Amino acid sequence: MIGKRIRELREADQMLLRELAAAMQMDTAMLSKMERNERPFKKEDIIQLARIFKQSQKELITLWLADRILKTIADEEDTIESLELALKILKTQNKDE
């Protein structure tokens, strides 16, 4: 998900992969793998990309986190129930704070 979004942003800006890699001080091959979701982005990468593309940091981090969650639970059973429980716990924790 996040890799696809970054590619869309890059292409919309008519930026070459090597140009974005240079702006991020990153190897072009590494960035290519990240766009293809073969290698994960770091949170710091997402923050930097939000600045480069003038996008909402919150929106890109939310997408990045959702991507990480989905990759973590991809091969598990009862994922919906687990996510619902986690959401319930998060809501309870937020009320207590």
pLDDT of residue 97: 67
Convert the pLDDT of each residue in 52-92 to its tens digit.
999 999 999 999 999 999 998 888 888 889 899 999 998 98
CATH of the domain at 57: 1.10.260.40
Give the whole-number percent of the chain exceeding pLDDT 70. 98
pTM exceeds 0.75 for this model = yes
Please state the domain count of the chain: 1
Angstrom distance (rounded) from CA 40 to CA 12: 22
Task: Name the residue range of residue 8's domain.
Answer: 2-96
- Neighbour count for residue 41 (Cβ, 10 Å): 20
pLDDT of the residue at 75: 85
Give the integer Cα–Cα distance in Å for 62 and 57: 8
Say if residues 53 and 43 touch (Cβ distance below 8 Å). no
Give Dmax (Cα) for the chain.
47
Q: Give the per-residue pLDDT at 77.
A: 87
